[in-house]
A and B are shown apart, each in its own frame.
Chain A
């Protein structure tokens, strides 16, 4: 029994063999397993080909490279400036309306301030040097543009180098000299730009005209910083003057000098010592907070133990396990404390609280607090705002880099696994790379990308959820936005739930990061392969 050749089987599969031959083949197929399989495969192929041709014929052309990069840059820049202006305006207010529900300890809000506020301060005060974060942002956008507009690797390389150059301009970088591990700005020295210092020990005795970005184990500001201080260190001590704000993540923050604006601290210990002043607000996420000095406006703390022995010029809001106000304490506004029990507050008899005192204890009011949150109009306001932001972000992403949204997770577990690794390994890798001085710029870039990916994870997963629920492909913008909306609503409803919410949040993060990684790989493959 000899099998028929591929050509004959193909014609047979199309049903176009003359009757005599067709009968021969038909009889053969009854006996031959492999020929039966081949004919079946050919028929499947024909059907699939037909379906694909129909889809190709009627599909709307994808919006490929139609978007001019400069329009996008202009829109992004305008949006950034707009947000920065509003955020800064809000902070200038002596009070923030309660219904707005601005939670200063929300890490996203803090990060937003970190990126935008210092930049705007420069613009406002007319200092000619460029705000530190703006060049980095420009750099990232240019890098994106390079990937998108690739018509040749040479052009892409040139764009990437140009983007790195812009970032390098506005910032002076200092690393420890050979043989030492200390960066010192001497007493008479002035740094005209923003200073990025990295090393084991950083001591500023002179003057910095821009911001100070310090990465090190021990950082001491004894001199003057005209801008803000951004610090990632084990210990930050400020004995001098900071004209701007302080944003820091430490083990110990020791404020002994003067901070002319606000201090935002994520630390184990935050101390505002007796002779020290913070002219505006103190936001602290810490294990212990001690305010012995002079705080101009508001104290907002989430901590285990809070002690106030000095002056708080505005209101004091504290989430703590224990709070202690000594006799010398003075609070010009309200005291709102959220404690485990009413007894956890020890308020000295000499303490003066000029506003009202509200002490809520979790035990009694626990469940009601949760419900109260949903009765608060600000909750819905912010949810809608974040929803709108996600939709805007999704559309921008789809317009600018649609390839990033095309990934379909084939194996959920695999995608989640990749995402988990990306979630955990990246910060470690970033820190390690940052320690080797050479790796610092790449580390910062990767950190920025990772942070962006954390936000994008939500968008990617909600688009996926929406797509699944609607059972539709998102070929056009309307369907995509609908899918995104559906997915976002689902996520936002699930997130506030007590146990399910946290689990879902983690799953979204991990899955989304996995999708982002896969999308990045696909984008790279496309850039490299199909040109």
Chain B
């Protein structure tokens, strides 16, 4: 646990750093950005250490900062990048395969395909998937983060899973445009 003046123990900080990096990696889509974001998150954590309730576990607190930072970054990126192809949560032209491609045991090759498919998803889909299946947040929390109702989150997740399946299948058959 933490001592009065010094903040959390190094082991806890390491674990927090690792988890924060993982979350940023998934949300932002690249390792380099995740590294930058992680540093930024810990700078902010350092600044807000006063307002941090020592009795609460450090890691979830750091993760909350990380999540907000990533969402801000993504929003800023979206606004700045006018050339960005507008995200479409539209109906996809391909018949969606049943949930089997993602349900099997992953080897290194398949994992690489999932990684690539994930990074190429529209942002909101990716955020929803990461928050739900990596962070294990409930629909309410995700709704708060994305400005959606619970029902909206359900629909977004459903579509996101389908998009992910389709992109993985596309990569399997040999190419993403």
Contact = CB atoms under 8 A, between A and B. Distances in A.
B158 A16 contact: no
Nearest to A49: B133
Contact of B100 (A41, A51, A525, A529): A41
Contacts of A56: 25-26, 111, 114-115, 118
Contact of B111 (A44, A52, A530): A52
Interface in A509-526: 522, 525
A502 interface: no
B150 interface: yes
B134 interface: yes
Contacts of A50: 133-134, 136
Interface residues of A, number: 32
Contacts of A53: 26, 118, 129-130, 133-134
Nearest to B174: A529
Interface residues of B, number: 43
A48 B106 contact: yes
Contacts of A59: 111
B103 A45 contact: yes
Contact of A406 (B25, B109, B161, B174): B109
Interface of A is mostly: helix
A59 B118 CA distance: 15
Interface string B80-111: 00000000000000000011101111111101
A16 B23 contact: no
A189 interface: no
Interface string B5-46: 000000000000010011101100001000000000000000
Interface in A404-425: 406, 408
B102 A45 contact: yes
A14 B109 CA distance: 27
Contacts of B136: 50
Nearest to B118: A56
A6 B158 CA distance: 8
Contact of B99 (A45, A58, A61, A408): A45
A57 B134 contact: yes
A525 to B, nearest CB: 7
Contacts of A54: 22, 134
A309 B132 CA distance: 87
Contacts of A11: 154, 157-158
A58 B18 contact: yes
A49 B105 CA distance: 10
A42 B96 CA distance: 14
Interface string B133-177: 110101100000000001001110110010010000001001110
A49 B114 CA distance: 9
Contacts of A268: none
B111 A61 contact: no
B99 A42 contact: yes
26 contacts: A7-B158, A11-B157, A14-B154, A14-B157, A16-B139, A48-B105, A48-B106, A49-B164, A50-B136, A51-B106, A52-B102, A52-B114, A53-B118, A53-B130, A53-B134, A54-B22, A56-B114, A56-B118, A57-B25, A57-B134, A59-B111, A406-B108, A525-B174, A528-B174, A530-B116, A530-B176
